[in-house]
Structure 1
């Protein structure tokens, strides 16, 4: 049927409910209407009928029928398809760090959301046609970054590649290294944070909390690369698991929140002086298997605000050319 979309479940979307997946990707679709689409078989998972409460697995394919215009009570038409400025699309195309027949890796700028949600008018998911280039299919996201986190973001260029890449993320065959600036210096200066996390109840946006009893296991390896006295530290982080806000919650749990992360560090997450108040968390590099065989490593340059902070604190980026080196023994 014309207009039907087949969407791949990203590597970090496994285990979420089907209705939550729709809320994430189609926030203007009301729950009642989704239930009707499920009852009539218009929405399917891997070709089979599904329920709103079904848990998804990464790599599954979701059939999304033409949704048309939602009733005015659900979403005004003017907000459903905002026009993206040409310069934004051009900048997204220029952000490509790696490209082959199966995949793309882009350098996501801070402040640009990966997917839609409440209060988000422009996001990467709605601009994927600009990254089609010579491919027959529209690119597909296989993982996500927080809106204010910058750095490497992987996209598949066809459905077959999306399935292979999603499986690589699910099987933890990928290695990711983040660079962060923390308020204070983590102690010890290197180690593993093994602290379960769960979603904090209540409003105010998605936020995770330590929860050893009911939370999902979350593991992060870290190494302090340089320090500015006791004021701040440049930290390399390697997430072993991929929980929501994992790095931010783990750094805050150490008592050293990431600079600019008011959600987890409150007022203590901001340095005085001319240091930017933006989040200082950057997906520096990724190593992952290519769908066609072999491995690829991609590194993203620091965003402008982090470069400026590093200059102010006299941190030398050139001293750490290999982002994976601090974790080589692991």
Structure 2
């Protein structure tokens, strides 16, 4: 593990000044420290030599705002999932968070940090192997090697890694907006534009600029989807495993007719995957397997497997249909699970 300096910021301005000078922020550290111990850069192509603790910045509030909800970047995943406003008004988000990681990790991990997770590709974490995401231009052995967990959509010749977050899949379905701040000012990033596909620059995961800090995530009103939503996660084991395929689905129904739909996938691409064309195709249709299957076919256009992950092509379609079917039956609201 590379040596580094560690400081604590007492206010946002102080933290932003350190970030502008090249420091990396740390809050829960549930992914950052794993990466550093493995010798893998948390972002870009170099390991950080300075960390700044941002836990004292007061960015942990969850509150109503503009008809929706404002999720502080430093609110813990567990606190977010069990918050009364999240559970009652955004049950899809609560379900997605509770499907991720373990209770211990959810108690430490922050909302902002969840957005910044890096891929769990075997070759990315193994510094003894080539990886375009870790060392641009070195190659992508995953395409011909261990790729069972990896992407089938939005891939490139450079990278077939996928994004590991569950929370982000629900945030994409809910049209979240990421608010960021730096010493140069602040801006808003629609969730659709926050994460990147690999293209020819797979080492760049998102559209954050150097020195920017996530302050909060804004959720618009989603009341029409409260009664009919579901998060379905297919994984190798029930406890603490990343998704092979996950689907966040929400429907606005009128006596069995679909007025609007939201569908986002995880485990299949370098970013949470959503195809608005498929949602539009469901509008006005009678809820049922025929309509769901047609939407799934639109979502999966251009999907391809790389050998070990070929099964995901069928699994993804089936999971989309299952998630929409489950959502149509009615939302199962989170109960008092152990934290």
Q: Same fold (TM over 0.5)?
A: no
Higher helix share: 2
Higher strand share: 1
Query: TM-score, normalising length from structure 2?
Result: 0.28
Query: TM-score, normalising length from structure 1?
Result: 0.29
